[in-house]
Every structure is written in structure tokens, then in C-alpha cells.
Amino acid sequence: MEIVRDILLVLAFVGVALFGYFVMSKFDKFLDGNRKSIEQDSEKRGPSCVMLTEELSKEEIAQEVENFRKKHKRVRVMLYDNSEAELSEKIEHHSE
């Protein structure tokens, strides 16, 4: 009787382990596909910020802003002079 109980316990454990392996492999495939989809969307959209330096002409700056607006739905343009303060300090001050 004790041997039958031990065999059933081992078989139940092996069954649960195989089921867990099967579920986790499906879950891993789902997460991998989701990650690839997010990466492809991110590549299509381009960067989430653009740095416009003094080397660019007015026309180039206008073109960069227009290209960025075409790729992103919600756009906020922020201009600052880095000699005054850090950008994070200005954002915090503006959001209050």
C-alpha cells in the first residue's frame, strides 16, 4: 500500500512539473512575441525626444519638429537654456 502511495505521489509530481513546463513555455513564447512587437513599434515611431542644437538652421529645426510631430500623437515642445539651470529643475517648477 505504501509503495502504491509513493508511486502515485511521484507520478503526480511529474505530471505537475510537466504541466508547469508546458504552461511556462507557452507563456515565454507569448512574452517574446509581445516584446518583439513592442520593439518594432518603437523602431517605427523613432526616438521619443529630439535634441536641436545651435548647429542646425531654422529650416532644419522646423523640419525636425514637423517630422517628430508626424510620428508622435502628443507633442510638447520645451525650450530652455542650459546655462540657467538643469532641465529637470525647470520641469519640476513648471509642473507645480
How many domains does the chain contain in total? Answer: 2
**Does residue 58 carry a pLDDT above 90?**
no
**Residues 51 and 63 both lie in one domain:** yes
Judge if pTM exceeds 0.85: no
**Residues 65 and 36 both lie in one domain:** no
pLDDT at 6: 94
**Residues 29 and 61 both lie in one domain:** no
Average pLDDT over residues 74-91: 64
Q: Lowest-confidence range among 19-28, 57-66, 79-88?
A: 79-88
**Residues 53 and 95 both lie in one domain:** yes
**Residues 29 and 53 both lie in one domain:** no
**Residues 57 and 13 both lie in one domain:** no
**Residues 58 and 37 both lie in one domain:** no
Residue 77 φ then ψ, to 5°: -100, 130
- Decide which of 33 and 49 is more confident: 33
**Does residue 29 carry a pLDDT above 60?**
yes
Q: Are 72 and 48 a contacting pair, CB within 8 Å?
A: yes
Structural domain containing residue 39: 1-45
Q: Are 80 and 90 a contacting pair, CB within 8 Å?
A: yes
**Residues 68 and 89 both lie in one domain:** yes
Residues 6, 12: Cα–Cα separation, whole Å: 10
**Residues 32 and 56 both lie in one domain:** no
**Residues 51 and 92 both lie in one domain:** yes
**Residues 41 and 51 both lie in one domain:** no
Residues 69, 50: Cα–Cα separation, whole Å: 11
